[in-house]
Chains A and B, each alone.
Chain A
Amino acid sequence: MRSLIICLCLLVSLPGWAARELEWDDLVPADYDVNQVYEQLFNKIYGDKPPEDVDDGDARGEQMMEAIDKAWREAPLKSELDNTVVRLPGYGVPLDGDEEYVREFLLVPYFGACIHTPPPPRNQIVLVKMKGQGVPLDLVFEALWLEGTLKVSSQDTEYGTAGYVLEGESAEMFSGY
């Protein structure tokens, strides 16, 4: 009898159990250090000039931005995450939908970048394609938990280009950890 109850409890908790809760750091391969990359680029472009003296109009500032953009575009992905069921919080950037639901959107860790910070690197952006109706419009504008199957393609092929894609099952509001 007791074993039956335990089995039932396990079964009931299975869906939540099966989805792996990720943090954005988990999407970055272990050997890729964002800060290191940044420093390397910085040193390459600025040489010995200390960081506090960087200003916007500076030509090297431009170069820096471009270099970072390029680096972020080519940031490596973690291919072992392919086909895992995950749960990830983030902000949504709506791409496709209608007046009530958003069906396709980008999930990013932060929203509303100012001009001083570049957009997230490739391994910190997830393209979410919702199954079914989609996520209610109001929810997408807030922070949300996304749950679904993460797919990783690490090569650009004729069928698609590299990046994280999440086949979204469900979404709910995120109000803190």
Chain B
Amino acid sequence: MLPRIILASLRTRKTSATLIVVAIALSLVMIVGIERLRHQVRANFASTVSGIDLIVSARGGPMNILLYSVFRLSDPTAGIRWQTVQHLADHPDVKWWIPIALGDSHRGFPVVATNYSYLAHYRYGRDRALSLASGEWFAGADQVVLGSAVAQRLGYRLGDDIVLAHGASGPAIIEHDNHPFTVVGVLAATGTPVDQSVHISLAGMAAIHSGGLFRSGLPPLPGQQADTPDSVNAVMLGLQRRTAVLSLQRELSRYKAEPLSAIIPGVQLQRLWRMTAVGENALRATSLAVLLVALLVLVSTILAALEGRRHELAVLRAAGAGRLAVYGVIVGESLFLTLIGSLLGLTLLFVAQWTLAPLALAEWSLRLPDSFLSLRELPTLAAILLAGSLAGMIPAEKAFRNSLADGLTPRN
């Protein structure tokens, strides 16, 4: 009987009920949406790199090194000489090494010069290796392998020729247009910055910066090693034993030939989370405030409607409704509205996720969440429903008191 009364009564107040439902839906979108996004961004960041023990670069801030070598988000300042790279490659503690050289771009996408080690040893997520969706890894100095997002966004296919621009980002002013590169491979999507990168060989980078000819088959200019640039920006290391991380890190910081910094990616990522935590908490507080406003709207709307419902309540009271029944009607109503609002909010969020997912992956290499509601979010939903019910308690008590004061017949 109670549900019938609640629903039928709400139907006479459709407009205000709809507004409340929308307000709650939007605040839920904010609360759950922000939390999901935050979680997803962290997950994306955290899964960008795995299995890498040290990243060695020119002496500089550890966060900066992480940002440019892994996330391609910042700009490297100096390079490390090839002799140092050689020293690392020959170091007894080092099992494998990946050189990374940055500095060029192609239509906004960063160019990464590296070697076969990248394909062989770079890992992301839970120890997942890179793989080629089509074609093969570059062999010659005029060959390029594209990340999946680059190929998709710019519509490149195997065999296409591209020209690289000098400078890490922005519109090209100086182009290496007499050294076009041919697309020989496209990597499978990873959901990491690898997708946004354009990969060339170290020889390729050496060639476009030294001004020398480099087409495969031609000998290098005197004094120039064919497949090595004079410097790279970072070297990613995998060690023979991980326990050597700390001592090697220390050793490299004292390297005499040039000033170096070696960072442990895991540690730096943790520091990153601590830094972003402040902003995240601010966002959380904001969305809680939004929910609070929505609930206040709920309370005030129900309270305002109470005046017009005095006869309604008098009828119920005369028929034998006690405090519990009155609460049932009013709190039941606010709970119902909160529930519908929450479901609407979750649906809106789900549709938004579904619609924006391909765009997010292509544009920002961001994998959006794809669930309607996850187990982790149940407590939040329960809390919102509880809050909505509690919001109804104030009008319910008022309604009951009114009925006592009105007696048998309310006189307006």
Q: Are A106 and B246 in contact (CB under 8 A)?
A: yes
A7 to chain B, nearest CB (A): 39
Known: A73-B247, A102-B266, A141-B270. A95 touches B53 (CB 8 A): yes
User: In the bound complex, how far is the Cα of B241 from the Cα of A115, in angstroms?
Assistant: 23
User: In the bound complex, how far is the Cα of B376 from the Cα of A100, in angstroms?
Assistant: 13
Q: Which residue of B lies closest to A72 (CB)?
A: B247
Q: Are A96 and B246 in contact (CB under 8 A)?
A: no
Residues on B with beta carbons closer than 8 Å to the beta carbon of A164: 243
User: In the bound complex, how far is the Cα of B51 from the Cα of A73, in angstroms?
Assistant: 22
Q: Is the interface of A mostly helix, strand, loop or mixed?
A: mixed
User: In the bound complex, how far is the Cα of B243 from the Cα of A95, in angstroms?
Assistant: 10
A125 CB-CB contact with B under 8 Å: yes
Q: Are B245 and A106 in contact (CB under 8 A)?
A: yes
Chain B residues numbered 67-83 whose CB sits less than 8 Å from any CB in chain A:
none
Interface residue tally for chain B (C-beta within 8 Å): 32
Q: How many A-B residue pairs have CB under 8 A?
A: 79
User: In the bound complex, how far is the Cα of B249 from the Cα of A149, in angstroms?
Assistant: 28
Known: A62-B254, A137-B273, A141-B270. A95 touches B242 (CB 8 A): yes
B191 to chain A, nearest CB (A): 12
Chain B residues numbered 160-204 whose CB sits less than 8 Å from any CB in chain A:
none
User: In the bound complex, how far is the Cα of B244 from the Cα of A94, in angstroms?
Assistant: 14
Q: Are A94 and B42 in contact (CB under 8 A)?
A: no
Q: Are B243 and A127 in contact (CB under 8 A)?
A: yes
Chain B residues numbered 223-237 whose CB sits less than 8 Å from any CB in chain A:
none
Q: Are B242 and A127 in contact (CB under 8 A)?
A: yes
User: In the bound complex, how far is the Cα of B253 from the Cα of A106, in angstroms?
Assistant: 20
Q: Are B39 and A106 in contact (CB under 8 A)?
A: no
Q: Are A98 and B46 in contact (CB under 8 A)?
A: yes
A97 CB-CB contact with B under 8 Å: yes
B406 CB-CB contact with A under 8 Å: no
Q: Which residue of B lies closest to A102 (CB)?
A: B266
Q: Are A161 and B240 in contact (CB under 8 A)?
A: yes
A residues contacting B by CB (< 8 A) are: 62, 65, 69, 72-73, 93-100, 102, 104-106, 108, 113, 115, 118-120, 122, 125-127, 137, 140-141, 160-164
